[in-house]
Amino acid sequence: MPRDSWIPVMVQRSTLTLLLSLALVGCEGANPSTSNAQARTLPPGPTKPVGPVPAQSIDASRRTAITAAVERVAPAVVTVQTETVQKVPVDFFEYFMGGRTGERRNAGIGSGFVVRSDGIIVTNAHVISGATKVSIGMRDGTSYDATVVGIDETNDLAVVRIKAKDLPVAPLGSSSTLIVGEWSIAIGNPFGFVLGNSEPSVSVGVVSAVGRNLAGRGDGGGIYVDMIQTDAAINPGNSGGPLVNALGEVVGVNSSIYSPSGGSVGLGFAIPIDRTKRIVEDLLDHGAVRQPWVGIRLQTPDVQSAREAAAVGAIVARVVPGSPADRAGVRAGDQVIAAGTRPVKNPFDWEARLLDLRVGEQLPVTVRRGGRELRVTLQVADAPEVSAPKVTVLRELQLVSLTDVIRQERGVASNAGALVYRVSDRIRDEIGLQDGDVIVQVGQSRVNSAEAASAAIDRYGARGPVYVVFERNRQYLQTSFSLR
């Protein structure tokens, strides 16, 4: 160390030593027996140590509601590992050996929890989306191959199954009774590849807010409305894990965070467990979610920020003819102010209410029209394309003929075409078609139905590449592919 930086340190230490010495000398110079005031302040009784606190008392004091809740839920928490295959250009040397495309395998990781002892597990849709392989890691290190039961990307939830029995099950609570400020516990496997551990980890905070609407996108493509907000640390790898209350009950599914840096900043969000239960039941019973439909399209607010959008109200832009809303008497221009027992202040509140509905339920709705409040009842139905006849193309593409009801519900500009109802990940990646696209032309032929689209694809595909024109978000795009 240089001399000029060493001397001041020694000087400061010497000065401190001198001051402490003087202080000690002063204490020794005082005579406690001659100071009655000091004598009266001394605590009564023996001054010797009374011995260590019994181990049983220490053990009992360490156990809290938090530790009890973790012990109840943690055995049911699992690690979800995925593998995706991405097509990439071959490298320089493979190109000269005749190669044209190659593959890159990417690993992903998330969390989940067991909801049935026979191997049914809940996680996020974005955790397993596009995965060619899904495996489940238990806390003891055991690994199982998993099959996907169903995915609901709208709600960012998925159900997978493993071949196992007598698994520990996470107790499910209710998200409707949450209290802002009560304890919340996030359990999962954050940064699992870095840490290399199979046991879940725990972070603790409080329920910061309920009914939160995220105007931006989270990790997945879901609609993040009516969410639970928590400051319990949620980091990459926590997605799909449970949010637990102090009773040891799962009240939410950790889904997304707000973070400029990518790490936790105390703004974590979870999907309410009440909504999760409904989605899981649909996925187990039908393999897909029955999307509730009432036939109301709200005005798109012309605002600059999410805060402004939260105050514009829920104004009906149009009502689909023949829909539940049309039959109940709802009109364009009405302002929705309540749905069931919950107030509706903006489009976020309306979307949140729709996500909690079940097909077949009745939804009381209060609207304001011309200064009067009217109460109507909507009979919740399946989305019109759900009950429409399906035409399967290429074994992995389901089409539905575009009807006037479907066109108005989805805001499609084309008068005729074939709606892409369901498409596999392979078709989505290789051809570029997505759910909700409307095929309007195949080759040189205009398409006015799902059957016409299927016949045109077969006809042109027998000759060579198939050129397809489709509508997406009121814009026309094109793609091509080969059946050979």
Q: What is the pTM of this model?
A: 0.72
User: Catalytic residue at 286?
Assistant: no
**Mean pLDDT score of the chain:** 81
Which residues in 342-444 belong to E strands, given as ranges?
Answer: 342-343, 362-369, 372-379, 381-382, 391-393, 397-401, 418-423, 438-442
pLDDT value of position 256: 74
Q: What's the length of the chain?
A: 484
> What is the tens place of the pLDDT at every residue in 162-193?
999 999 999 999 999 999 999 999 999 887 65
> What is the tens place of the pLDDT at every residue in 123-144?
999 999 888 899 999 988 899 9
User: Catalytic residue at 156?
Assistant: yes
Other Cβ atoms less than 10 A from the Cβ of 317: the count is 12
Which of the residues 156, 219, 356, 437 is marked catalytic?
156
Least confident interval from 74-83, 287-296, 358-367 = 287-296
Strand partners, 93: none
Q: Are 422 and 392 in contact (CB under 8 A)?
A: no
Query: Given a cut of 90, is residue 54 above it in pLDDT?
Result: no
Which of the residues 111, 175, 203, 239 is marked catalytic?
239
**8-state DSSP, 478:** E
Looking at per-residue confidence, does 297 or 114 come out higher? 114
pLDDT value of position 388: 82
**8-state DSSP, 134:** E
Which among 211, 286, 277 has a CA at the least distance from the CA of 242? 277
Residues with Cβ within 8 Å of residue 56, at least 6 apart in sequence: none
User: Taking residues 343-357, what's their average pLDDT?
Assistant: 88
Least confident interval from 15-24, 57-66, 171-180, 396-405 = 15-24
Give the side-chain half-sphere CA count within 13 A for 30.
10
Query: Given a cut of 90, is residue 264 above it in pLDDT?
Result: no
User: Catalytic residue at 274?
Assistant: no
